[in-house]
Amino acid sequence: MGETWFVVLLSLFVVLIPGYAKEKSPCDDITDDNSRQMMDCCSIEIPFTLTTLQECEKAIKTKQYQCEDDCLLDKDGIWGTDKKFNMDLWKEHIKKNVRNTEWANIMIDAPKNCSAFQKMAGSQKECDSGADTLLNCMSIQWYMRCPKSAQTATSFCESLKKKVLPCFTPMFKN
């Protein structure tokens, strides 16, 4: 479930890149396969509990939520009372659920760099709340900042990183 969630989030990136670049660029060559391969190159610690992931998978099937990302943020108590992402609740959630300190710090900082990405995504969002673009933005940053201890050290992963990192970086300038 966690791997599927990550691949779906990164697939949105593949859709967004062509609209972001004004002319043909190497970023246009990033594929859905690259998104899946990124999972093999960085062992990302998913910040949601297995219970939450399973509950949200069921909730989507029964249409209790518009999108799975709304459910994830709601079930884990990350929405504020106004049903918007709450940075303080996110920090609490990460400190409670992510045991690896390196990952926790990366995950806590990720939402701070998402305003430009969310504007760029604009109408591409699936959730009216924007939870999908926010979580997509954060997951891309997790890959970009993957701790050495979580990286797969292969020539393939190094090559993939060189291909995708230059495409990601401009999206996070606020």
Q: Where along the chain do its domains lie? A: 2-172
- The span from the CA of 160 to the CA of 39, in Å, is 11
Contact by Cβ (8 Å): 44, 144? no
- The span from the CA of 154 to the CA of 133, in Å, is 30
Average pLDDT over residues 81-90: 88
Question: What percentage of the chain exceeds 90 in pLDDT?
Answer: 33
What's residue 17's pLDDT? Answer: 46
For 29-80, the pLDDT digits (tens) are 777 777 778 888 899 899 999 999 999 999 999 999 988 999 999 999 998 7
- The span from the CA of 51 to the CA of 39, in Å, is 21
For the chain, give the mean pLDDT.
Answer: 80
Class of domain 2-172: mainly alpha
Q: Check: pTM over 0.85? Answer yes or no.
A: no
